[in-house]
Structure 1
Amino acid sequence: MMIKKRLAISNIIMLVVPAILIVVIAGGLLEAFTEKYGKKIRIINEGTGTYKVQKALDSYIKNKDVDNEKIEESLKNAGYNLLITDNGATVFSNLTYDDKDAISKINEDILSSSDSMVLEVNAISLIKNSILNDGKRINIIAIKANKFMSKQQFKSDMRAFFISYISVVLIIALIIITLTNGILSSRVAKSLIEPLDLLSYGAGQIEEGNLEFKINYDGKDEFSKVCADFDKMRMRLKESIDMKLKYEEDRKELVAGISHDLRTPLTTIKGYAKGLKDGVANTPEKCERYHEIIYSKACDMDMLVDKLFLFSKLDTGKFPFIFEKVNCNDFFLSFLNTVVNEFKVKGLDCSYENNCEDNVYFNIDCEEMHRVLANILENSVKYKGKDVGNAKIKIDKKEDELVIIVQDDGPGVIEENLSRLFKGFFREDASRSNPSEGSGLGLSIAEYIVKAHKGTIRAENNNGLTIIITLPIYNE
């Protein structure tokens, strides 16, 4: 999952989960808190029931039925107790201690001021009715001592209830939010730290020079591309270092090859020059032969130096190619007319087959492409293995490419050496015992030139050595 999406989901969860948990827990707490105050709330909501009691007493007064037990029974359901007096003397009373305590707090004048009254104060509910019976005043008083709190106290307690309830809810909400955010943040942080640790490990390995490790990150987020790019960078760095090491090795071989190929003709020149100096060549014929050998070896050295100079310019990419649009048939006919007799003298018969149409063109440097083909034929001459060898140049068109095939009937090359043919100073004769037969630079120079023409060159064995070159066809 992408980090952006993961963070969005995490933020939503951080809001939704705590909200749901807080609502559920707050509901449970409210139930617990209201259970404590439920009775008080129900008492205050239910009231004292004075209207019903007063109505019951009125019915007894009108009927002049002062039956203590009957009145007591009817008042019992309403929670009232009964006091009956006859001319001030108590006839019946089932008052409790709380009733007596509550009634004692009422002014005596208030109780005697009227025959009928309803009195309701914080601590007591009192209903009084009086009748005259045979000249006697009978007072029937229903009393209920209220044990519930006053409204002021109720408000105070409710205020305390809400403060304590809200405080507990806030604390729990804070804990839930902290835990939720902590858990989600740790998970998101872990998903970020893991790839960062991998990248840090990789950087440390590179710093220590180890490029053989591999970063394995299975996540499907932005870091997967970063880790993949980091691993590609490691591989390219490794390839670069391997290439540098190979280049250094090739450079050492190149220096060794140059030293060897220059030392051999130099040794010959020095030997024959010393023979002339010491008078070993004591006849005109010997002197002339010594001079010819010295000149021939000097020419070989000059040719080698020219090839080295060309090779170095090609290797540095500073060689000035002059490309031009050339007709394929015209170029190869011109090349064959130029070299066919030269190579025939060297013991190589050249043939030509062109399967392209007359309107095929390619963009080349004619002189350097001439050098490529000449170097390939020179290689066939050196390794023809018999007095007269044969080489065939075949031209084909394949889609947008021109395919040039140069095939000889020589002994070919050992398979394991095919890939090394285009390496500078490579010769199958590992002892380099006959440097006059070549410097080993011809095919290497040919490869540089072909690649500069955006083409390819390769070698294979096919009843001799076959060199295959592909070049792009010119399109308007």
Structure 2
Amino acid sequence: MMFVLPLGIILLAGGMLYLLYQDEYLDRMGNRESDKLAAHRVERQFREMVSELPAEGSRQELREGIIAIAPQVEEEGYHLMVLDRQRVPVFSNCTELDEHLLGEETTPALFVGESSVYIFRSSNIVKYMFTYSGDDYHAIAILSRDLGGIEEDLNNITYIYRIRLILAGVLVFLLADFLLAYQLSRKLQNHLLALQEAAKEVKKGNLDISLPRHKELEEEVAQVYEAFEEMCGRLARSRAERLQYEESRRNMLAGISHDLRTPLTVISGYVQALLDGVASTKEQERRYLEKIHHRTDSMVQLVERLFLCSRLEMGEYPFSFVQTDFSHWLARAAEKLQKELGEEGEVRLSLPEGECPLLMDGTELYRVLQNLMGNARKYGGRPLVFSLVLERQGDKLRLTARDNGKGVAEENLERIFKVLFREEEARTDSAVKGSGLGLSIVRWIVEAHGGKAWAENRGGLAIVMDFPVKTRKESEKLD
């Protein structure tokens, strides 16, 4: 639709110039409708002249009658010639060009029939036959044109109209360009207004933005709209993450306060008892000091794990990645875990055949296994069965760590990875309380290896971890 109006203007201007050219061309060629009417007026004058002549008269009287009508014919631009039957001129004011054209174009037809009108490119001829004093005469009127001059005029006309056409084309182009620029500016203004209104909504805090779409929306503008909406979506997600982060921080502070207040209260009680001399014997005093040491040690471990969580969450922890056969490493790690578990349970291991190369930090992945087994010891069955299953799946390795406990509620499968979350109500058979940091640390370490971790219920809680198989060179290219 944008190009219809300029194209219409171009066609209209071209059509007008063509009509003007044709009009001037016909004017120079003398073949207008008015020329035809003039020829018929000359024929009518011939008839009137003949009707006014007497039936009998001399040749001189005929000449005088013709001389009388000649000026009227000349007013129409015609020259006159009257011939007798033997083609001897009675009267003639024709030029040499007239006589040449008469002989060249119409001689065979001039003396056939009573009257006729001929319209030619180079001349218009009116012929009328009449009888006077018993003899036949032929009256011929001719309007001749010098074609040499006409050709030059037509060339001039063509040149002039070419210049006019070029100028008109330039003007039409400028006009069309102006109209297109105006239409584009109007459309752009509408798009900018839409973006401005959307920006005002964003300023108000409304990030659920959907800009108007229509069929004629240009691809570039559509891309701008999509980029703006994507920006709003990212801002909305960032805001949601920030709110979630703030909520997580508040919960963490509340959890830390709770976890620190209990041991501090116990420590304060034992210290006060020592100060008050409640411990009357050395053995009693030693027991109090051991309790204080145990509570202090648990607080130190909690602070250390919180510090580790903070560094992992901010991506500031210094990992040391080494290309390792994960299968062989996992076999040795399982032996260590079994020694730590002792008679409390069994560590079961399932490995695929062949090597499983993985770019990994062995120290931190062993921390992952310790946290998972520690979680299983708190909430697993008795005796504990802690199983580790490694599988190859395309371009990744999947490690599944599962206990033989009761699992967790389905709605808590994702929440257990949150900092300081503990599902104590669902696992009341365990008297051991955890810090709620272990699984958060597991997920952060796995993600630092480029993998992901999630929880499932499989006859117990199963933590599934996927690790991408890549070499050090591939890792450097990705970085």
Q: What's the TM-score, normalizing by structure 2?
A: 0.66
- Shift in Å, 1:330: 2.4
Equivalent residue, structure 2, for 1:211: 207
2:464 alignment partner AA: I
Cα deviation 1:297-334 (Å, max 9, x = unaligned): 01101111111121111122111111111122321121
Q: Kindly, what percent of the aligned residue pairs are identical?
A: 30
2:351 alignment partner AA: N
1:196 alignment partner AA: L
Q: Is the 8 A contact 1:352 1:393 kept in 2?
A: yes
Equivalent residue, structure 1, for 2:16: 22
1:197 is the counterpart of 2:208: no
Question: Where in structure 2 are the equivalents of 1:391-402 lying within 5 Å?
Answer: 391-402=386-397
Equivalent residue, structure 1, for 2:334: 336
Cα deviation 1:151-201 (Å, max 9, x = unaligned): xxxxxxxxxxx9xxx9xx99x999999997776555433332332222222
Equivalent residue, structure 1, for 2:352: 355
Equivalent residue, structure 2, for 1:305: 303
- Shift in Å, 1:22: 3.1
2:390 alignment partner AA: I
Q: What's the TM-score, normalizing by structure 1?
A: 0.66
- Shift in Å, 1:43: 9.9
Q: Is the 8 A contact 2:348 2:386 kept in 1?
A: yes
2:187 alignment partner AA: S
Q: Is the 8 A contact 2:378 2:432 kept in 1?
A: no
Within 1, Cα distance between the matches of 2:92 and 2:416? 128
2:257 alignment partner AA: S
Within 2, Cα distance between the matches of 1:64 and 1:459? 136
Cα deviation 1:353-409 (Å, max 9, x = unaligned): 11231x22211111100000110111111112x542211111111122111111111
Equivalent residue, structure 1, for 2:371: 375
Within 2, Cα distance between the matches of 1:352 and 1:204? 59
1:13 is the counterpart of 2:7: yes
Question: Where in structure 2 are the equivalents of 1:123-202 lying within 5 Å?
Answer: 186-202=182-198
Q: Is the 8 A contact 1:14 1:180 kept in 2?
A: no
Equivalent residue, structure 2, for 1:472: 468
- Which residue of 419, 427, 451 corresponds with 1:424? 419
1:340 alignment partner AA: Q
- Shift in Å, 1:17: 3.0
**Counterparts in 2 of 1:435 and 1:215: CA distance versus 1, 3 Å:** farther
1:207 alignment partner AA: K
Choose 270-279 or 210-219, whichever is displaced more: 210-219
Equivalent residue, structure 1, for 2:58: 65
Question: Where in structure 2 are the equivalents of 1:223-238 lying within 5 Å?
Answer: 223-238=221-236
**Counterparts in 2 of 1:196 and 1:65: CA distance versus 1, 3 Å:** same
Q: Is the 8 A contact 1:14 1:184 kept in 2?
A: no
The residue matched to 2:387 in structure 1 has which SS? strand
Structure 1 segments unaligned to the other structure (5+ residues): 82-115, 120-161
Within 1, Cα distance between the matches of 2:454 and 2:406? 17
**Counterparts in 2 of 1:379 and 1:29: CA distance versus 1, 3 Å:** farther
Equivalent residue, structure 1, for 2:276: 278
Q: Is the 8 A contact 2:10 2:169 kept in 1?
A: no
The total of aligned residue pairs comes to: 378
Within 2, Cα distance between the matches of 1:198 and 1:412? 52
1:420 alignment partner AA: R
The residue matched to 1:437 in structure 2 has which SS? coil
Within 1, Cα distance between the matches of 2:212 and 2:91? 94
The residue matched to 1:421 in structure 2 has which SS? helix
**Counterparts in 2 of 1:179 and 1:315: CA distance versus 1, 3 Å:** closer
Q: Is the 8 A contact 1:22 1:176 kept in 2?
A: no
- Which residue of 458, 463, 470 corresponds with 2:454? 458
**Counterparts in 2 of 1:21 and 1:362: CA distance versus 1, 3 Å:** same
The residue matched to 2:16 in structure 1 has which SS? helix
Cα deviation 1:70-98 (Å, max 9, x = unaligned): 899878976869xxxxxxxxxxxxxxxxx
**Counterparts in 2 of 1:215 and 1:458: CA distance versus 1, 3 Å:** same
Equivalent residue, structure 2, for 1:414: 409
Structure 2 segments unaligned to the other structure (5+ residues): 74-89, 94-156, 474-479
Equivalent residue, structure 1, for 2:219: 221
**Counterparts in 2 of 1:451 and 1:40: CA distance versus 1, 3 Å:** closer
**Counterparts in 2 of 1:39 and 1:332: CA distance versus 1, 3 Å:** closer
Runs of 4+ in 1 over 4 A off after TM superposition: 9-12, 24-31, 38-49, 70-81, 116-119, 172-186, 430-436
Within 2, Cα distance between the matches of 1:426 and 1:39? 104
- Shift in Å, 1:463: 0.6
1:397 alignment partner AA: R
The residue matched to 1:416 in structure 2 has which SS? helix
- Shift in Å, 1:231: 0.9
**Counterparts in 2 of 1:223 and 1:435: CA distance versus 1, 3 Å:** farther
Equivalent residue, structure 2, for 1:155: none
Please give the root-mean-square deviation of Cα atoms over the aligned residues, in Å.
4.8
**Counterparts in 2 of 1:64 and 1:18: CA distance versus 1, 3 Å:** closer
Cα deviation 1:187-232 (Å, max 9, x = unaligned): 4333323322222222222222211221233314311111111111
1:448 is the counterpart of 2:444: yes
Over alpha carbons, which structure has the higher Rg? 1
Q: Is the 8 A contact 2:421 2:436 kept in 1?
A: yes
2:389 alignment partner AA: K
2:208 alignment partner AA: E
**Counterparts in 2 of 1:261 and 1:356: CA distance versus 1, 3 Å:** farther
1:295 is the counterpart of 2:290: no
The residue matched to 2:463 in structure 1 has which SS? strand
1:260 is the counterpart of 2:258: yes
Within 2, Cα distance between the matches of 1:18 and 1:221? 32
**Counterparts in 2 of 1:72 and 1:185: CA distance versus 1, 3 Å:** farther
Within 2, Cα distance between the matches of 1:317 and 1:64? 133
Within 2, Cα distance between the matches of 1:415 and 1:432? 14
2:10 alignment partner AA: V
Cα deviation 1:330-349 (Å, max 9, x = unaligned): 2112112212122235x332
The residue matched to 2:413 in structure 1 has which SS? helix
Q: Is the 8 A contact 2:400 2:462 kept in 1?
A: yes
Within 1, Cα distance between the matches of 2:470 and 2:446? 15
- Shift in Å, 1:249: 1.1
